[in-house]
Amino acid sequence: MSKQRIGFIGVGLMGHGMAKNLVEKGFPLTVTANRNRTPVEDLVQRGATEVTTAKAVAEASDIVFICVTGAPEVDQVVNGPDGLRAGAAKGLFIVDCSTSEPTLTRRLAGELAGIGVTFLDAPLSRTPKEAFDGQLDVMAGGAEADLAHVRPAIEAFAGRIVHVGPVGAGHTMKIVNNFIAMGYAALYSEALTVAKANGVAPAAVNAVLSGGRMDCGFYQTFFKYVVGRDENAHRFSISNAHKDMRYLAAMAEATGIANPLGSAVKNYFAMAEAQGNGGKYVPMLSDEVARFNGVDLLAKG
């Protein structure tokens, strides 16, 4: 039985590794470039075909994966000039792996169903390293039968797939997941600042917490930067974190949920981005929160 033809739009930090696994595991792969040609050229060398538009990707594919920044970009990929909708034939499956807004996800699913196209959400957890290793966590939204249809392709880059509910549930869960993670980032940053201002260095904080009950995978990547100054320990930008916390706020407001903790977390990232640090990675929030308070985490003593 021949493998499904796969299209991939968004071969950036996460998408490059995902697409690499698809083509290496025998799926015919069609990609298109955005600004950075390096990952596209790498994928072509591995056997992928490059086209110039999302429309052409749809025309060449049975399943198209999208992995872009957020909701506006997803909408543009689907509905823009020469977008996926323009090239979609009946029976196409589109799987959105971006961190997008559930309201957009449900709207696109409804609109595309009218032309015989199935739209699912399957956002990701973990890092570009796991994307390259084919060990991402995926939280999927959609009907069981539809997920079963695309599962063989998702399994090419995922170590774990969790079906969390109907279309839109995947993006809802991803936003909640990122709220928890970015909440940790804000909490660690504030705690480090308070500790340093009172004579306890980051290395001492880490010596107490690492390996204890408060430890976790996110803690380890965050403190790999704080203590080891590894800038690539967790390659997720402050601007993306701020975007996700705005999505959380909108989701909470739409359902009438009080979200004061989410607002506090969002404002930390908003302040950091407003200071021109949106391109820095999330663990670097620790330096910015310290700086807001006149504290230098690297200072001796």
Which residues participate in catalysis according to the annotation? 174
A 10 A CB-CB count for 160 gives 12
Question: What 8-state DSSP symbol labels residue 284?
Answer: G
Alpha carbon dihedral 215, 14, 174, 237, in 10-degree steps, equals 70
Residues 6+ apart with CB under 8 A from 233: 221, 222, 224, 225, 281, 283
What residues pair up with 51 in beta bridges, in sequence order? 32
Token pair recorded at residue 238: 């402050």
**CB 168, CB 102: distance < 8 Å:** yes
**CB 171, CB 105: distance < 8 Å:** yes
Token pair recorded at residue 144: 């069981």
**Residue 282 to residue 145: CA distance in whole angstroms:** 37
**Residue 297 to residue 193: CA distance in whole angstroms:** 7
Residue 163 C-alpha from the chain's centroid: 17
For 158-183, the DSSP string reads EEEEEEEESTTHHHHHHHHHHHHHHH
**CB 245, CB 256: distance < 8 Å:** no
3-state helix, strand, coil split of the chain in percent (to 5) is 55, 15, 35
**Residue 63 to residue 210: CA distance in whole angstroms:** 42
